[in-house]
Structure 1
Amino acid sequence: MPGTDTSFSDPIAQPSVVDQLAARIRARILANEFKPGEALRQETLADAYKVSRMPVREALRRLEVEGLVVFQPNRGVTVSPVSVDEMAELFDIRLQLEPGLFAHAIERASTADIAAVETIRARETAALAEGDTARFGALNRDFHAALHAPANRPRTQVIVQSLNQHIDRYVRLQLALTPNARKTANTEHDGLLDAMKSRDPIAGANRMTQHIVTARTALVTAFEG
């Protein structure tokens, strides 16, 4: 009908070439296939993914914003170095925000919210059983996002999501390099879910604090040792 807004029925756009390239290169950096300090030649990536250099450059610019790569004069693009100071700062900011955010989420969580967290936990457990560190690492971020979702604190959640995006690389390194890290994270995730199911915001905040401190301590020890 004339004047009718039909935008709601427009086809959903498929991921662009740049989106797909950024996702694939990001995954290889997070999996430590592209190592800290390694040069990423745009021509090589374009050949590997059978695209022109332009979308490769745009994808790398996105990853630069995420802190995963660095554009350097006369050196091209390299994978960002791992920084103990940056990692410690990111975890310290998490400590200031996530325990309180989780407590608010517990107070507001619905049965559906808890079921969503349980679904991710089941996937994490399966990934751990299969020894799939990359998948467990990706699900770790999904798990924390699901824990915080019921809080209804959008500004804080945006900040925390950005933090966890930047910290994802360090978490995956912890899972790959630290003995028993996956088992410890799995056990602590069970404790976080139990606090949510018990509707206990104080226990939830305390367990989230311990979870973050444990990961931070293990990573600092691994990098400085």
Structure 2
Amino acid sequence: MADQGSSVDRVYATLRDMAINFDFKPGERLNETHLTSKLNVSRTPLREALNRLVAEGFLTLAKGQGFFCRALSPEQILELYQLRCALETEALRHGIDRASDAEITDFCTYLDATEKTYDSCDDLTELLKMDEEFHMRLAGLSGNNELCRMLNNVNERIRYVRLVNLRQLRGMDRTEAGENTFLSAHRTIANAVQNRDTQAALIALRAHIERRSEQTIELVRLAYSQLYVPS
């Protein structure tokens, strides 16, 4: 049983990374025979891993047809951005209310230590990782582990599109990018949290997140172009 469990975890982790990065194309039917051979695993742990990914929203299951990669549509991405905004703003309200001064100081100290690398970082994957870390730490001030777990799932499901967005923003000059730069947005949010100014923090956070949701149609178009015509 231990070996079976470890096989499921290994296959799950591999398939999860593939799904996050859209190594499976949107709407593509997964070839289970090919996957069992590629991952050197039997059908049973593969199926268990695939079902876990269906439950988490990375794959879909059609009765009598099999497993499919999730869709990549403006409507779905917009819904996920809206969910992200709802989760983060709710976490922010609770965080400002319940977090201790020491916890907020630690959060701001993290930003102090990392924000200088944002402008100079050329690795977009690393840049996105830092951005997600900032937002997860912000949500973590709420002390609500279930909320943070849900937010992490949403982050993973929109990660590919956010990477496309980052690549797009890095192609702009600073004047054109304006307030889209993480540096100014994160600092504005952190300052409001430090002052326990809930209204200012919510306004800054919503602007930081919702600005991207308005661009979902263009972002999905760009995502498809990069998936099917890689640079």
Offset at residue 63 of structure 1 (A): 0.5
1:158 to 124, 128, 146: 146
| Selected match of 1:186 from 178, 182, 188 | 182
Counterpart of 1:214 in structure 2 is: 211
Question: For residue 6 of structure 1, what is the aligned residue in structure 2?
Answer: none
Instruction: State the partner residue of 2:102.
Output: 111
Q: Describe the superposition over 1:75-121 as per-residue Cα deviations: whole angstroms up to 9, x where unpaired.
A: 32210111322222333344444324313313424334542565477
In the alignment, the residues of structure 2 paired with residue 127 and residue 62 of structure 1 have an alpha-carbon distance, to the nearest angstrom, of: 37
- Deviation of 1:176 (Å): 1.7
The percentage of aligned residue pairs carrying the same residue is 24
Q: Deviations over 1:22-72 (max 9, x none)?
A: 222111222222221223222222222222222111111010011111222
Superposition deviation, residue 163 in structure 1: 4.9
Q: Distance in 2 between matches of 1:40 and 1:111?
A: 48
Corresponding residue SS for 1:151: coil
Which secondary structure does the structure 1 equivalent of 2:61 belong to?
strand
Q: Does 1:148 align with 2:139?
A: yes
| Unmatched segments (≥5 aa) in structure 1 | 1-14
- Where does the alignment leave 5 or more consecutive residues of structure 2 unmatched? 172-176, 223-231
Is residue 117–residue 193 contact of structure 1 (8 Å, CA) maintained in 2? yes
TM-score, structure 2 length as denominator?
0.72
Contact 2:77 2:158 in 1 (8 A): yes
Would the alpha carbon gap of residues 116 and 98 (structure 1) be closer, same or farther in structure 2, given more than 3 Å must change? closer
Deviations 1:168-219 (A, max 9, x none): 3224313225610798362323332333334332221111111121121122
2:49 is matched with: 59
